[in-house]
Amino acid sequence: MNKKILVIVTILAISLMLTPLTLAKPGAEKNNEDTFLTLDVFFSSTVSYGGGKFNPQYVGARTSTIIWLETADVCDITIDGTKTYSLTTDFDYEGTITMFMNNADDQTFANVKIEYSYIFKSASGIDGTLNMRAVGKTWWDIDGQHYDVTIRGQGTDQLEGVKLMGMGMEGVGGIVHEGTVTNWPMPTP
């Protein structure tokens, strides 16, 4: 009786160990997992403070909070230096900027948070949205406006599992984001 139970348990154990091997699909990699590709974004917008919501935190304050919707004029996203997606052709843009202003005697600066989305269209070959957040600091001095922001994002739908990280800085004629992206769905040759 004990031998029968031992034989049954042994057969069951062997079959359980072999099951994952029989169900495995070699080469079924999803969205270039564990592959780090370069991310380059050029962005230019027209900002209208007139539509913004201005909320002084207290009377006579040197600090204030400003919130407004951002509209992109030009935006190109380049993945791995090989594929570029363009605003209006490949995706739409939605963004909200929140600035916590501090007007000191010698310098004006703001802590900034921008929550934005790139909503890809079917023309791009991708059905999905990149939900992004940029946080950091911007300041104004005699040389103009400067930025020091960190960007992070993740995708939905076909971009599920896509993650982006990078830095934002001022560029010629706009803002530049540089960083890395993982799990981007690269076209098959």
pLDDT in tens, 85-109: 999 999 999 998 888 877 665 567 7
Q: Where do we find the tokens 């530049």? A: 176
- pLDDT at residue 29 greater than cutoff 50: no
129: in domain? yes
Output 81 or 45, whichever has higher pLDDT. 81
- pLDDT at residue 47 greater than cutoff 80: no
CATH of the domain at 175: 2.40.350
What pLDDT does residue 4 have?
67
- pLDDT at residue 138 greater than cutoff 60: yes
What pLDDT does residue 51 have?
46
**What mean pLDDT do residues 139-163 have?**
86
7: in domain? no
- pLDDT at residue 24 greater than cutoff 70: no
**What mean pLDDT do residues 143-170 have?**
88
Nearest to 124 by CA among 92, 156, 90, 157: 90
Phi, psi of 30 (to 5 degrees): -95, 120
6: in domain? no
- pLDDT at residue 155 greater than cutoff 80: yes
Burial 77-115 (b: 16+ CB within 10 A, else e): bbbbeeeebebeebbebebebbbebeeeeeeebbebbbe
Region of residue 123 (left: phi > 0; alpha: psi -120 to 50; beta: else):
alpha
Q: CA 129, CA 93: separation in Å to the nearest integer? A: 10
**What mean pLDDT do residues 141-148 have?**
75
Residue ranges making up the domain that contains 96: 26-182
3-state secondary structure of 30: coil
174: in domain? yes
The model's pTM: 0.71
Percent of the chain whose pLDDT exceeds 90: 28
Output 59 or 35, whichever has higher pLDDT. 35
What pLDDT does residue 177 have?
84
166: in domain? yes
188: in domain? no
91: in domain? yes
3-state secondary structure of 184: coil
- pLDDT at residue 54 greater than cutoff 50: no
What pLDDT does residue 176 have?
82
Could you give the number of structural domains in the chain? 1
8: in domain? no
